[in-house]
Chains A and B, each alone.
Chain A
Amino acid sequence: MDVFDNLAAGIMAVLTPGNMLLLLAGVMLGMIVGVMPGLGPSAGLAILLPLTFTMDPTGAVVMLAAVYYGAMYGGTITSVLINTPGESATVASTFDGYPLAKAGRAGPALVMAAVGSFVAGTVGAILISVAAPVTASVAATFGPPELFLVVVLGLLTLVVIIGGNRLLGALSALIGFAIATVGIDIGTGQQRYTFGSVELINGIDFIPVAIGLFGVGEILHTLWRGGHLEKLGYFNVSARSRGFWPNKKDYKESAGPIARGSLLGFFVGATPGAGATVASLMSYNLEKSVSRTPEKFGKGAMAGLAGPEAANNAASSGAMVPLLTLGIPGSASTAVLIGGFMMWGLQPGPLLMEQNPEFAWGLIASMYLGNVMLLLVNIFCIPAFASIARVPFRVLGPVIIVVCVLGTFTVNGSIIEVGIMLACGVLGFFMRRFGLNPAALVIALVLGPMAEESLRQTLIISGGSFDIFLERGTSQVLLAAMVVMLALPLAGKGIKKASSTAMARVGRKRRDDTDVDANAGEDREHDKVGSA
């Protein structure tokens, strides 16, 4: 087939020793950048972009694709180990990744995330090769109404995250929405809550808030609990030990989430504006909905890490579709890339693939190879990263705070943002102390402005009528998806109820049997979850 010839040619073009070195360097640089809290893929690309201006386009794009993936994965490492997402796309990875690390399973969590990313990246590269034109035509039907609905799908995650304590959860989300209103109002050009400060006219960025709430907040809370006095239950993380690699059950539990996350991520990633953050949150939401053991989510469910990780990685491949086929940047990272295209003398647009096939397919091939390289590098690096968990808290805590300050400052060189970060650290401590939900706040902060902007654009277009959501084809599909997503957990509850009654009936029949049988029944149920 033509696409496979093209892909093979692309891979051949990329497989030169020089390019492989660039790929390796890119992955390593990306990971280093990504491990800094606050610096995610888009910041990594922006920082390293000027270095590529003198390279040939293929070499440059090989390196940048590697940086992109490396940084994405680097963000996962901090999310899992120190509960600090490097960018909004890895917020969902903290929900179950950090509990896993706390339970001494940092190694399996990081390996599973790398495997999930690798599979998703591969699926993404294949989907780009075969489904780019179709996906692009779908992406081109996305106007403000559709974007709004996708963001609302992401916001549904709030329901899942908030869980039991509705009042405090809703309060947390409202604080997030409130922080999101700071800055210039896109609709009227007026300033909101900036108090005349120039630094605030672009709003309060998600990064300092997330670093403060998660990173610093967690440290303060651990101190308050007396965590620095506790003797660490050392766990061995060397690559040879059995506990380092994911076990069979982990793989089984993650297979479904990775597959679903890859597909979901790719298509959500292809829609301009929504991207990896919404994809990862939707994936988390979906996995909890379909899981037979939703109560494990948030307490260290492998599925809750593998799904979002696969989704955010597939989304970054998906974001390449509008970039390559329509010349439209769908995310912050691809917007930086498009700047790069122009510096390398390429004209972004629908003709890019036709006019520069070796470049476009080289990019796709380098995404594929970047994932392979990432997996290889990580097999060697994860033991080192995971050993962070062995460092006593009285040493690790201060180091994390320094890294948080440095990371925040590096993004924009703004001391005000460092102040915001530290203030959010204190806020994060009190939120934990009083049972509020920092994750809900951050999700509201990231998605709130997108929801507001797209809804206002929609209503300007429709003259204030909500009928516009029912008139446009893609909107109708999205509304239907939303209904399904809302109905799934309810249906799931029904199924669970039915199955537990059935189990109870079996149990009654076997009342005379031993307890061992009952345990066996439970094990079977776990297996079903994995293969679901």
Chain B
Amino acid sequence: MNRKWTAAAAAVSGMVLTLSACGGGADGTSAGGDYPSEDMDWTIAFGPGGGNDIMARTMVDILQKNDLYPENIVVENKEGGSGATGWGYLFGQSGTGYGISTTSGSFITTPLQADTGWEPTDFTPVGLMAADYALLMTAGDGEWSTYDEWVEYAKSKGTVAVGGIGTVNVDYIVQQMVADANGYKIDYVPYNEEGQMQTSLLSGAIDAMISNPGSIMGQIEGGQMNALLFTGPERLDALADVPTAEEEGISDIPSMPRGLILPPDAPEEAQQWWIDTMKEVVTTPEWQDYLDENYLLKDEKWGEDFTAYLDDTQSSFEEQLTELGAL
């Protein structure tokens, strides 16, 4: 895509948020060399207000407040094709160290679904900073409010209708793994929007659904919905009563990566600069606040470890979804 055009359109729409970091050089982070000396082109592969957008803007905010990046960071939302457009744009910046983007679940699933021309492992990894885990939810007025009660109900019914976002997604895998572990069957109902799925659950059309703690905590606190099971490695402080999948004997439920990537073949100097800098970012109180507010668990893997994690996650997704017939 012609960059001039993009820039012009972005200016017209006021989408460009230019953040001037007026700090003095890169003395805090000694990576040597002359990186960074140019503006950073920060791509958000989704629209404003979504999970990926919030994470990216939090990071940029921290970088700016702490004068970590000496030049400007230009943030731009490039949505489309479930992330394919934005990450495709980053893929096209191959070889430079001045393009960057945040990842989320679609970074794994979109290439499985469509011929995007890139794979997660093609990009230069900075690191994984957090992982998104899921909650199994039921409506607050149902007869079952705990995991055990739910399993008992589902088994007695034989087949239950359960919801999740999309088909080629972790939600489907989680629902199927829980069902398999307990010997009941599911009719999986895929939704496009969280809002419709939530009302669907409240209306009694489906028996259970998958959601992320960040987007559902308000409903849990309001007593409108019950959280039954958490897929993370340990219980959430805010939901101390909710058992983890591990405790219930279900292991290796995949999670969604929240990390940072540079274009393919970015200079080593740039990669190292970002790894060092992000290691600093994740120690800031602002980052901790972000994790707490969104109920994300700290999960840090840097450089090649992140690529290995992406590779593992994608192959286990592919295997499980193929088994389910979704791919």
Contact = CB atoms under 8 A, between A and B. Distances in A.
Given A47-B14, A189-B326, A350 B218 contact: yes
A347 B214 CA distance: 9
Interface stretch (A11-19, A139-147, A304-312, A517-525): A139-147
A143 B199 contact: yes
B47 interface: yes
Most central of A143, A327, A406 by chain B CB within 10 Å: A143
B114 A49 contact: no
A335 B53 CA distance: 13
Nearest to A189: B167
Q: Give the size range of B's interface with the partner.
A: 35 or more
B15 to A, nearest CB: 6
B80 interface: yes
B195 A330 contact: yes
Given A143-B200, A199-B81, A202-B81, A336 B49 contact: yes
B33 interface: no
Given A46-B48, A196-B115, A201 B82 contact: yes
A335 B218 contact: no
A340 B199 contact: no
Contact of A272 (B48, B54, B116, B196): B196
A350 B217 CA distance: 10
A453 B193 CA distance: 11
What's the interface size class on A, roughly?
35 or more
Contacts of B267: none
B81 A415 contact: no
B12 A144 contact: no
A265 B156 CA distance: 43
A461 B189 contact: yes
Nearest to B165: A186
Contact of A328 (B9, B168, B195): B195
Interface stretch (B144-152, B203-211, B268-276, B307-315): B203-211
A463 B77 CA distance: 40
B30 interface: no
Interface string B194-226: 111011101111100000001001110111100
A348 interface: yes
B197 to A, nearest CB: 9
A278 B107 CA distance: 34
Interface string A22-54: 000000000000000001000000111111010
Contact of A413 (B1, B81, B206, B327): B1
Given A339-B48, A343-B49, 8 more contacts: A142-B200, A184-B114, A198-B117, A328-B198, A329-B194, A350-B218, A414-B80, A457-B191
6 contacts: A50-B48, A144-B196, A198-B114, A272-B195, A339-B49, A457-B205
Interface of A: 39, 46-51, 53, 139-147, 184, 186-189, 191, 194, 196, 198-202, 272-273, 322, 326-330, 334-340, 342-343, 345, 347-352, 406, 409-410, 412-415, 453, 457-458, 460-461, 463, 472, 474
